[in-house]
Amino acid sequence: MKTDVLIIGGSAAGLVSAMTAKSCNPDKQVTLIRKEEKVMIPCGIPYIFGTVGTSEKNILPDAGLEKLGVNIVIDEVLSVDAAAKSCKTKKGDTCQYDKLIFATGSLPQLMTFIPGYDKENVFTVPKNKVYLDALQEKLNAMKKVIVIGAGFIGVEISDELSKKDKEVTLIELLPEVMATAFDPEFSKLAESALTERGVRVMTGIVVKEIIGKKAVEGVLLQDGTRLDADAVIMSTGYKPNTDLAKESGLKLNPYGFIEVDRYMRTNLEDVFAAGDCAEKREFSTGKLSKIMLASTACAEARVAALNLYELATVNTFRGTIGIYSTNIGKSSYAVAGLTENMAKADKFHIVTGSFSGVDRHPACLEDSSPQIVKLIVQKKSGAVLGGEVYGGKSVGELINVIGFAIQANMTVNDLLVAQIGTQPMLTASPAAYPLIKAAEICAKAMK
């Protein structure tokens, strides 16, 4: 087999890089090789256990790839010879390419240092439909579930399983849930929402051992407490899937990600990388980052594909902002950029401003929700470094606006004079728009 552009991996970065490469180079043959017959929507995985109900309703469609004429191959790449520009697959085929994009994604980080991690009914959360279908079937017959790790996936899975009348205990080593993403005041709001919805939340807790003979019977905590369980789900983060890249001669950074420049080029000629497997740097600090997000993966994939045949200085990836959002019942939580704690740890001189309002006007409208906006701003320049939002579903788009402000190096003054469209049924009042009011508070603190 011969192709102009070869993409290894079919999740978010693979999909977007293939579509972008073909759209921008319609005369080139683009081939995507992936292991999975059906690819999961990564961010939708927790919801197959409750709201969505089945993995079949959480599939990344191939229609866009097929319509453009991308060649999809279900196989596994076992080796890459970068000098010969070829790869060999599990089915015994050889593929010659001109340009190559690694989009091999990430794998669950298994806590092997916890005794009992390998017992029956200890699960992880991979982006693998076959595994997840088997997990869902097993969980249907179980009552008591312990989730270890209260990041976004752990929080969302816990909430979804609680909807299915499971007795769910969520255990987190750090003092609050989602503590690596939010400042404490927002984490505590999320923890309260989880508790109200029936999830038992235990923070600042060390899991000593997963106990049971052959299968899980419970969890032993550091203080000697035993918690009974039918299943344990380890939601303890992900690691870059870069073994193939390393074997192919690509340089990895200290965190195990493929080293890339701002065009997503690797150390090997005509080889690019994008998505969870590719190196990340924080937007505001330039420090190496472990952030893995589908939105970041898609942005990197576009950059890689746009620079395959001709570099363009306008098409570069300048660092991950880290824009997250999640929903627990009627409340939603979102964050972009640096939190207050992160900014202080990096020695930024900052001011913060928080404003509590509502997302409709008047507030008596049926679907109005409280809304809290917090901004983190450089004291001297007024540059927006980060923001956090609590409220209804409108926070999902509002945090994107804050993300745009960070990426565009906007200042508090830019926000103060920002022109916004408002409508009673759709937005907060123009006189009390929480984002702009938070900016006002920051401006006062800068004086």
Measured distance CA(436)–CA(47) in Å, rounded: 33
Structure tokens at 52: 């969505």
Continuous H helices in 4-123 = 12-24, 63-68
- pLDDT at res. 299: 97
CATH topology classification for 122-236:
FAD/NAD(P)-binding domain (3.50.50)
Q: Domain-by-domain residue ranges, the chain?
A: 5-107+239-306, 122-236, 326-446
Measured distance CA(159)–CA(195) in Å, rounded: 9
- pLDDT at res. 313: 86
CATH architecture for segment(s) 5-107+239-306: 3-Layer(bba) Sandwich (3.50)
- pLDDT at res. 46: 97
Find out whether 41 and 93 touch, Cβ atoms under 8 Å: no
Measured distance CA(331)–CA(393) in Å, rounded: 7
Closest-CA residue to 7 (of 220, 300, 402, 365): 300
For residue range 360-402, list pLDDT tens digits in order. Answer: 999 999 889 999 999 999 999 999 999 999 999 999 999 999 9
3-state secondary structure of 193: helix
Find out whether 31 and 95 touch, Cβ atoms under 8 Å: yes
Find out whether 65 and 15 touch, Cβ atoms under 8 Å: yes
Look at the chain and count its residues.
447
Strands (E) across 293-420 are located at: 324-328, 331-337, 350-358, 370-378, 384-391
Reply yes or no: is the peptide bond before residue 434 cis, omega within 30 of 0: no
Measured distance CA(427)–CA(231) in Å, rounded: 43
Structure tokens at 54: 């089945």
Using the 8-state DSSP alphabet, how is residue 46 labeled? G
Find out whether 408 and 418 touch, Cβ atoms under 8 Å: no
Find out whether 45 and 156 touch, Cβ atoms under 8 Å: no
Using the 8-state DSSP alphabet, how is residue 358 labeled? E
SS3 labels along 302-328: HHHHHCCCCCCCCCCCCCECCCEEEEE
pTM: 0.95
- pLDDT at res. 243: 98
Find out whether 179 and 189 touch, Cβ atoms under 8 Å: no
Non-local CB neighbours of 44 within 8 Å, separated by 6+ positions = 52, 58
Structure tokens at 36: 């999975």
Find out whether 233 and 217 touch, Cβ atoms under 8 Å: no
C-alpha dist (Å) from residue 383 to 241, 256, 343, 355, 408: 35, 32, 12, 18, 10
Q: Do domains 5-107+239-306 and 122-236 have the same CATH topology?
A: yes
Continuous H helices in 84-210 = 129-140, 152-163, 184-196
Measured distance CA(405)–CA(337) in Å, rounded: 10
Structure tokens at 133: 């279908």
Say if strands 200-203 and 167-172 run parallel, antiparallel, or are unpaired.
parallel
C-alpha dist (Å) from residue 445 to 354, 374, 415, 441: 11, 13, 15, 6
Measured distance CA(189)–CA(390) in Å, rounded: 9
Distance of CA 387 to the CA centre of its chain: 17
Residue 154: what residue type?
Answer: G
Find out whether 317 and 262 touch, Cβ atoms under 8 Å: yes
The residue ranges of the chain whose pLDDT is under 70 are none
- pLDDT at res. 245: 98
- pLDDT at res. 96: 98
Q: Evaluate the CA torsion angle 124, 127, 130, 134 in order and state its sign.
A: positive
Measured distance CA(313)–CA(261) in Å, rounded: 12
- pLDDT at res. 84: 97
Supply the CATH classification number for the domain 326-446.
3.30.390.30
